Amino acid sequence: MLLSVKKIFFNLKSSLFILLIGIMLLGIQLINITQYSQHLSSLRSQHDLIDSIISQDLSDTQMAMITLNGHLSHLALAVKLSNNSALLDTFLTSEEERTRLYTALQTSASAFQDAALFWLEATPHGRSTMREQMMRTRESYLSDISHMIDYQIQLIDQSLSIAKITAVALCVIGLIFFIVYRIRLNQIYLDINKACSVDIDGTKPDVSTQEMEFIVKRLARKAPIANTNQSLLHPQSGLNNEKGMMTLYNAKKANKSYGSLFIAVFDIDQHSVLSNSLSKEDMGALYKKIGDIISMYEQPMDVTAQLDSNQFVFLISRNSKETALSDAEKIVHSVHDSMFNTAKGPIKVTLSGGFILKTPTSALEASIADGQKIADKAKQSGGNRVAQLREKADHFR
């Protein structure tokens, strides 16, 4: 069953959306871990503040009061920050347990702060007693901080485990998607390449997608030649014959967009051998395929034809010689790269080409005859190439 390009791209978009959702979830989990880490940092900072408070020098009462009040304010803020809600608290924590731990922490923190203030405000004779009371509340406070730290570490470990599982799942799913859609996109690329390339092995393109099969079938339907009169067509290749070529040329040259006319005459290098060894049907299929290859490079103002001598003529209307010559050389290369099916099996064929510019003063028939002579020279020099006149008429290259 052929694949659907539309379905492939729809599934690709869905797969990318799934990966995006997974990445967003992983991002939320990382943010959640960061928030739990901030809670842990707040709890640890309370340890430092407690140590700073109990080691406060009270010899300078006014300075001690300023410093201690600053520590107590920071301590109250740290207690509050240690209980800020995180993104995934609803899914990862027990509201009852979290409330219980925070209530205990808040109670012991308040008791310690009150004891610290009493210690600060006590007379020098009563400070020892107030310090002992502050140290007792400190032990309870540190115990509650430790419980809260253990709880936050547990939440961080739990969040990290979920994040690891999510990351591994995303990697596995992403790898599967990559492999699957790499294969699918390669199939689409190969189908496009088969549809756009010259048939080099003589077989019907084997495509994998519905849309490209439709395109290949459409491309395989050779556009009908403007001449519908069978008397103007070559019976074997379906190209214009000499009369059809002249008719079509005269019709097109009146167009204002008609450029300079270059003539390429192509001759099959192995023609005499092939005509003696192949059937008429095989020769007709060979002519038709060569004609199809030439037609691939045909533009609206061009004309393709097959002469009675079985040579091919390509009238090329271009704005530059380089462009016209390039198309003629591409035709020779395309034929060289192609395989031609016959009753005796696939064969290779090459062309020799003669390339010439038609001058306004010369007749088309005379220019074609000159092109035939240049093609003969190319054939004599080894074939499979396009020859053209040098500046002197008796020299070829």
Assess whether pLDDT exceeds 70 at residue 312. yes
What is the pLDDT, as a whole number, of residue 85?
A: 79
Q: Say which amino acid occupies 163.
A: A
Tens-place pLDDT, residues 188-210: 888 887 776 655 555 566 778 87
Assess whether pLDDT exceeds 60 at residue 161. yes
Tens-place pLDDT, residues 49-74: 999 898 888 877 788 888 988 988 99
From first CA to last CA, the distance across the chain in angstroms is 53
DSSP string, 154-176: HHHHHHHHHHHHHHHHHHHHHHH
Tens-place pLDDT, residues 266-291: 999 999 999 999 999 999 999 999 99
Of the candidates 219, 178, 174, the residue with the CA atom closest to the CA atom of residue 195? 219
Point out which residues pair with 357 in neighbouring strands.
262
Of the candidates 271, 269, 245, the residue with the CA atom closest to the CA atom of residue 358? 245
Q: How confident is the model at residue 236 (pLDDT cuts 50, 70, 90)?
A: confident
Per-residue pLDDT, averaged over 153-176, amounts to 93
| Contacts of 281-284 spanning 24+ positions with Cβ under 8 A | 281/343, 282/342, 282/343, 282/344, 283/236, 284/236, 284/237
Tens-place pLDDT, residues 80-101: 888 887 777 777 777 788 889 9
pTM equals 0.52
What is the pLDDT, as a whole number, of residue 368?
A: 94
Overall size of the chain counted in residues? 397
Q: How confident is the model at residue 393 (pLDDT cuts 50, 70, 90)?
A: very low
Of the candidates 108, 120, 116, the residue with the CA atom closest to the CA atom of residue 134? 116
What is the pLDDT, as a whole number, of residue 397?
A: 44
Of the candidates 215, 98, 199, the residue with the CA atom closest to the CA atom of residue 148? 98
What is the pLDDT, as a whole number, of residue 228?
A: 57
In angstroms, the CA 377 to CA 124 distance is 123
Secondary structure tally for the chain: helices H, strands E: 11, 5
Find the radius of gyration of the CA atoms of the chain. 44
What is the pLDDT, as a whole number, of residue 392?
A: 42
- Structure tokens belonging to residue 182: 């790499």
Assess whether pLDDT exceeds 60 at residue 371. yes
